[in-house]
Amino acid sequence: MTRRLTTAQAIIAFLQNQHVERDGVERPFFAGCFGIFGHGNVAGIGQALHQAPDFPYYLCRNEQAMVHTASAFAKMSNRLRTLVCTTSIGPGATNMITGAAAATINRVPVLLLPGDIFARRNVAPVLQQLESPATQDISVNDCFRPVSRYWDRIYRPEQILTSLPEAMRVLTSPADTGAVTLALPQDVQAEAFDYPAALLEKRVWTIQRPRPDAEMFRRAVEWIRASRSALIIAGGGVIYGEATDALSRFAAQTGIPVAETQAGKGSLCYDHGQALGAMGVTGTPGANILAREADLVIGIGTRYSDFTTASKTAFQNPAVRFLNINIADFDACKHSGLPLVADARVALEELAQALQGYRVDDAYRSRIGLFRLEWEKEVDRIHNLDHGPPISQGEVIGVVNKVSGPRDVVVCAAGSMPGDLHKLWRARDPKGYHLEYGYSTMGYEIAGGLGIKMADPSREVYVMVGDGSYLMMAQEIATSVQEGHKLTIVVVDNRGFSSIGGLSRACGSGGFGTEYRYRSSGGLTGDPIEVDYVANAASLGARAERVHTRGELAQALEAARGHDRTSVVVVPTDINARVSGYESWWDVPIAEVSEVEAVRAARQAYLAAREKERYYL
């Protein structure tokens, strides 16, 4: 039994028939295809999509953005669903590279189908072809190799028979997932082949929950029982693995406190008795002080980025050991930890059983309680600062947090807001806090918000975006209007880069080149440039208004809730009203020699701080 189809038609038919199943619930893996057509895909994948109307096609405005939308969709779906992305050859394809890197670093599945140059070669160089005098076996799509977890180029129609199953294996593997790139030469897309019907039958990929190895598990229990000051670091794996209830019970039963990474925030509700909030560079005093003293760090579903480890200065107890519960042995082995390679939920349930009767001592418990109490007071203080006008970013976060419902989602990616949100946002639902902080991509915010809304239209989505990020990529507002996927976008307008401006000052460079100002004789130091974000957003089809106070912001957000169309609320803030760091540090190397006194002073402080960096061997 065969079906005569073009390569592109067979790919789309195959993708439509892929399902995943976890815990007995089955769903189609691909919810449709995003794309922008050009000569490199219009007659191939474009034609195939045209004759497959039950596989939704979404036209977006920028190829990088659509990969962010697909990633956010996948992240919101706990990696159990994603979207396909199709592009033309050349710039359409390479526009996806930033999105691919972000997906791979964040370990979320996206399937990318860039068009590629002719396999037939006789008409080369074709429009947009990168030529090489050294080989004909190269194209711009080779740039996807390091940012893809699986990469392939399809020179012959029958190659998809072995390539597509491999692509699915990687996409649905919690340990291996990331961007998968199948580069599709323009001519091959349109070539026909007699495909075996079996390729196009329904296939169900089961997402497993592997149990820990018995011996490693025995040691893990021993290590926890022997510890006196254990600390859990909850990463994204807790949420993707739907292990949040298991973690909540485990923490309540054992009394072990929990600190959260950016990807892991929301693992516990902020008012849980063991919740210390954010961990690391952008962490709370409780999390960072207890991390410093911990004799056992239990990392669950975390990849220990430098923001989590405070550039390897976070854990200072000379006897500290790491127990890493992770689906990927790559992460489980970090910091010479005891690797418990397993599904987070299963591992936590089995550990809870084996640790019956174990509890941290009362002194430790009361310290945790005190840290929690003091932190809630600090959050209240920053949420209600009465700064300005212009008001502070902390106040903006407080208002959005208060106005949003417990199931609503806040999304952010770059600038000073991720750190402030990590500290100040009171998460009430495992899917309520969505930060892309693996790649921290300016421009993810609005595109990502669209993916979140598509994944769960029942929730309001609050996009928190700095003016810098907004200027980099706001055009998907038009796509949100086109699709009727309403977003509430808060543009925090501080006329430049509060984040990097602050960092530049800390490095002794005085904020050089980080504010939006007219050029004057002294450089970019003239009057601030007024960008009319309200007019810009309105021109893309959004409702838009400017507010100045906490009260006006709350009112605008309430009004936005009642509308079906995307709303943009622009709020000017004070670029210099920053939330401080708490008990932590980040390694940003300072110039070793300089004519500038401030740089020399920063270098001295830097060298002293770096002394605390440790190898965990």
Number of residues forming the site for ligand TPP (CB under 6 A): 17
374 or 532: CB nearest ligand TPP: 532
d(CA 305, CA 302): 8
State the binding string over 526-555 for Mg ion (x if CB under 5 A, else -).
Answer: ------------------------------
64 belongs to the binding site for ligand TPP (CB under 6 A): no
Angle at 502 between CA 501 and CA 507, to 5 degrees: 95
d(CA 287, CA 585): 13
241 belongs to the binding site for Mg ion (CB under 5 A): no
Which range in 47-55, 147-155, 340-348, 466-474 contacts ligand TPP by CB under 6 A?
466-474
Decide if 211 contacts 277 (C-beta within 8 A). no
229 belongs to the binding site for Mg ion (CB under 5 A): no
Cα dihedral angle (213, 214, 220, 221), rounded to 10 degrees?
Answer: 150
68 or 75: CB nearest ligand TPP: 68
Q: Which of 5, 417, 435, 455 binds ligand TPP (CB under 6 A)?
A: 417
Backbone angles phi, psi at 62, to 5 degrees: -155, 135
500 contact choice in ligand TPP, Mg ion, none (CB below 5 to 8 Å, kind-dependent): ligand TPP
327 or 579: CB nearest ligand TPP: 579
210: tokens are 């592997």
499 belongs to the binding site for ligand TPP (CB under 6 A): yes
Q: Identify the CA nearest to 453 among candidates 424, 484, 425.
A: 484
440 belongs to the binding site for ligand TPP (CB under 6 A): yes
221: tokens are 């229990």
Beta-bridge mates of residue 58: 34
Q: How far is the CB of 140 from ligand TPP (least distance, A)?
A: 19
State the binding string over 475-494 for Mg ion (x if CB under 5 A, else -).
Answer: -------------------x
416 belongs to the binding site for ligand TPP (CB under 6 A): yes
Beta-bridge mates of residue 523: 520
Q: How far is the CB of 473 from Mg ion (least distance, A)?
A: 14
Q: Which amino acid is at 378?
A: E
468 belongs to the binding site for ligand TPP (CB under 6 A): yes
566 belongs to the binding site for ligand TPP (CB under 6 A): no
572 belongs to the binding site for Mg ion (CB under 5 A): no
11 or 105: CB nearest ligand TPP: 105
441 belongs to the binding site for ligand TPP (CB under 6 A): yes
324 belongs to the binding site for Mg ion (CB under 5 A): no
Decide if 101 contacts 110 (C-beta within 8 A). no
At residue 462, the 3 state secondary structure works out as strand
Q: How far is the CB of 62 from ligand TPP (least distance, A)?
A: 13
115 or 418: CB nearest ligand TPP: 418
Q: Which of 436, 467, 476, 545 binds ligand TPP (CB under 6 A)?
A: 467
d(CA 420, CA 53): 44
Q: Which of 185, 236, 277, 468 binds Mg ion (CB under 5 A)?
A: 468
414 or 568: CB nearest ligand TPP: 414
Q: How far is the CB of 279 from ligand TPP (least distance, A)?
A: 20
517: tokens are 């100002």
d(CA 488, CA 540): 14
d(CA 233, CA 302): 7
Q: Which of 408, 467, 476, 545 binds Mg ion (CB under 5 A)?
A: 467
CA–CA distances in Å: residue 269 to residues 5, 229, 274, 431, 443: 51, 22, 10, 11, 28
514 belongs to the binding site for Mg ion (CB under 5 A): no
Between helix 63-76 and helix 476-483 the angle, nearest 10°, is 60
466 belongs to the binding site for ligand TPP (CB under 6 A): yes
Backbone angles phi, psi at 103, to 5 degrees: -65, -45
**Is residue 552 exposed (0-12), middle (13-18) or buried (19+ Cβ within 10 Å)?**
middle
Residue listed under structure tokens 């993707």? 240
For Mg ion, the binding residues (CB under 5 A) are 466-468, 494
For ligand TPP, the binding residues (CB under 6 A) are 414-417, 440-443, 466-469, 494, 497-500
